[in-house]
Amino acid sequence: MSLSSPKTISLQRFSLNFAANIIATLWMLVGSTRAFSWVKPTFFQFALFATLALGSNVLFSWLVATSGSVFNEQGLVSYLIWPVIILLAGIILARRSGNQMLVFVPVVLWLVADTLAALLQSIVQLLGNHGWLPGWSYSFLPILFLVLFLWQTLALLWIFARRQRTPWWERIIVLIGAVALLTIWQRNVADQPIFKQIPIEATLEEAALYEQPRLLQQALSSIDPSVLGETDWYFMGVAGFSDQDVFRSEINKVRELFDVRFGTSGNSLSLINNTYSWLDEPIATKTSILEGLKKIGEQMNADEDVLLLTLSSHGNEDIIQLYNPPLMMDNLDATWLREALDASGIRWRVIVVSACYSGSFIDELSSPTTVVITASAADKMSFGCTNTAEMTYFGQAFFAESLRENNSFAAAFKDARLRVRQREDSMGFESSDPQMAIGSLMETALPAFEQALFDKNGSTTMSITDNNTPVTN
Q: What is the DSSP string of 92-159?
A: HHHHHHT-GGGSSHHHHHHHHHHHHHHHHHHHHHHHHHTT-S-GGGGGTHHHHHHHHHHHHHHHHHHH
In a domain, 1, yes or no: no
Cα–Cα dist 393/467, whole Å:
8
Q: Does 234 lie in the same domain as 316?
A: yes
Cα–Cα dist 378/96, whole Å:
62
Cβ(408)–Cβ(448) below 8 Å: no
Q: Does 261 lie in the same domain as 409?
A: yes
Q: Does 409 lie in the same domain as 333?
A: yes
Neighbours of 300 (CB within 10 A): 24
Q: Does 88 lie in the same domain as 163?
A: yes
**Could you tell me the CATH number of the domain that includes residue 275?**
3.40.50.1460
Neighbours of 364 (CB within 10 A): 16
Domain count, the chain: 2
Q: Does 219 lie in the same domain as 178?
A: no
| Residue 468: predicted pLDDT | 43
Out of 197, 216, 235, pick the residue that ends a domain.
Answer: 197
Q: Does 280 lie in the same domain as 150?
A: no
Neighbours of 414 (CB within 10 A): 15
Residue 255 CB partners (closer than 8 Å, separation 6+): 235, 237, 264, 268, 270
What is the domain range of residue 184?
14-197
Residue 415 CB partners (closer than 8 Å, separation 6+): 397, 401, 402, 405, 406
In a domain, 248, yes or no: yes
Distances (CA, A) of 394 to 30, 192, 301, 419: 44, 38, 30, 9
Q: Does 231 lie in the same domain as 187?
A: no
Q: Does 321 lie in the same domain as 174?
A: no
| Residue 463: predicted pLDDT | 38
| Residue 115: predicted pLDDT | 96
Which value, to the nearest 10 degrees, does the dihedral of the CA atoms of residues 39, 42, 44, 46 take? 60
| Residue 1: predicted pLDDT | 47
pTM greater than 0.85 (yes/no)? no
Q: Does 226 lie in the same domain as 189?
A: no
Walking along the chain (473 residues) 10 residues at a time, the average pLDDT comes out as 60 88 96 93 94 94 80 89 93 86 92 96 86 72 87 94 87 90 84 78 80 95 93 96 93 94 93 93 96 96 96 92 92 96 97 96 96 96 82 94 92 96 87 95 95 68 41 58
Q: Does 116 lie in the same domain as 97?
A: yes
Q: Does 257 lie in the same domain as 119?
A: no
Q: Does 126 lie in the same domain as 20?
A: yes
Specify the length of the chain in residues. Answer: 473
